Amino acid sequence: MMAVRGSRLPAMSQSVPSLEALNALPRVQQPSYPDPQATGEVIEQLRALPPLVFAGECDDLRAHLAAVANREAFLLQGGDCAETFAGVNAANIKGKLRVLLSMAVVMTYAGQLPVVKVGRIAGQYAKPRSKDTETRRGLTLPSYRGDAVNGFEFTPEARVHDPKRLVGVYNASAATLNLVRAFATGGFADLRGIHAWNADFVRNSNVEARYEALASEIERALVFMMACGVEDDQLSTVDFYASHEALLLDYEHAMTRIDSRSQLPYDCSGHLLWIGERTRQLDGAHVEFLRHVRNPLGIKLGPTTTEEDAVAIADSLDPDHEPGRLTFITRMGSKAVRTNLPKVIEAVETTGRKVVWSCDPMHGNTFETDNGYKTRSFADVCDEVNGFFDVHEELGTWPGGVHIELTGDDVTECLGGIDMLAEADLANRYETACDPRLNRNQSLELAFMIAERLADGRLKRNAVSPLARFRGIDL
């Protein structure tokens, strides 16, 4: 990744609306801080800190996403539903990176195309909630909105909205990014050690035989390349990008910087930022803020999205039809994806834009079990992914990616999968701070299913393979 220095955003910059102007617009899902003066002091402190990511890195990711939109690559975006400050440790970060790299290897080899790797990481510390409060045993307190806002413990003290936690978000994100960059470039992700860096991961996995067979096949191909004298540094490192929902406007605005090369604004809290289903109002502060920054942007689209909704938000955020600028992350649910998604895709494609279409099969398939756990069925997750691919096959468009809530741990939060988790198993390791995540076995099982769809000849990719390009053959 390229490091480009960013400068502090001038207070009266005309490139981005002031925080005061944004606060005058409809603002939803924002904290209710009790002390405005303390909040202002935290915001000024954040403005003076170095950027977490750099403008050049955001530009690089936008170029990779343009390749996805052009059917030349696939996007894998995944990570925790909600990161926690306590989860900022080497083992946890390594586990998430490992499962994403494993999934990417499976998809790359089967699909014979690059996989753009983006984590829900180093910033996903805030979550929108459907209710402002929750009640337990007659006590009503503010809902937990992520470690960026308040504490998980159900006490009056923990649930107070505290602006000082925003500095904690910055510090946790900086530590996470530092470790991710070390893993990505320091040899951990070297493809030539594919067996070694996945040894612990696959040893206890019921999908290990399938994965090990694939790893051995890749290893033989690498040995052949090395025997031919091919020594490519790209085998030893990976490009890995950070993303999160740009939910807390105080934080995102404070982390915006002017790029010294272009004099354009970038939100330097993450490479890719997305707008959630609850915050994509056209007249709202989130859309108004993000349409001014140069980061690649994601937009969550739920089952009630109309053709007019999708086109209107595309017009607002991408008036210049810039490839790689927009990623539409659809979260229709397994029951609605085949009926509701086609019209949305057709409407956006008619505008002539090249956007990335990505499937979030998690958020539309959440339900509560009889024993009180919020969960998802792995079968529903797979069905929505298959429906997403089915729709694109019918329309002749490109199913460009998936957006998964997952962990590298052996949690028991989603039902089904190769381990056949049942409702009674949920209590064993239900560890999420918010929504249920796929565990590492389920994540890898899903990767193999997606790989089969990418390799399916029915999917009209219309892209020229590197080997065909070398031969001068247009396939």
461 annotated binding-site participant:
no
81 annotated binding-site participant:
yes
DSSP structure class, residue 375: E
Encoded amino acid at 436, one letter: P
Task: Give the DSSP per-residue string, 317-354.
Answer: H-TT--TTSEEEEE---TTTHHHHHHHHHHHHHHTT--
Alpha-carbon span 146 to 421, nearest angstrom: 27
DSSP structure class, residue 87: G
- The structure tokens 């029951």 sit at 335
CA angle 362-366-371, nearest 5°? 140
> Phi, psi at residue 203, to the nearest 5°?
-60, -35
405 annotated binding-site participant:
yes
Give the ranges where 160-279 is alpha helix by DSSP (H): 165-185, 199-203, 208-227, 249-254
- CA 21, 27, 30, 35 torsion-angle sign: positive
Alpha-carbon span 30 to 32, nearest angstrom: 7
Helices (H) then strands (E): counts for the chain: 14, 15
458 annotated binding-site participant:
no
CB of 165 closer than 8 Å to CB of 144: no
CA angle 442-334-205, nearest 5°? 5
Biggest distance spanned by C-alpha atoms of the chain: 72
Helix, strand or coil, per DSSP, at residue 366: strand
- The structure tokens 């490109």 sit at 398
471 annotated binding-site participant:
no
94 annotated binding-site participant:
no
120 annotated binding-site participant:
yes
CA angle 348-349-355, nearest 5°? 80
* Binding annotation: 81, 120, 277-278, 300, 331, 363, 405, 435
* Binding annotation for phosphoenolpyruvate: 120, 277-278, 300, 331
* Binding annotation for Mn(2+): 81, 363, 405, 435
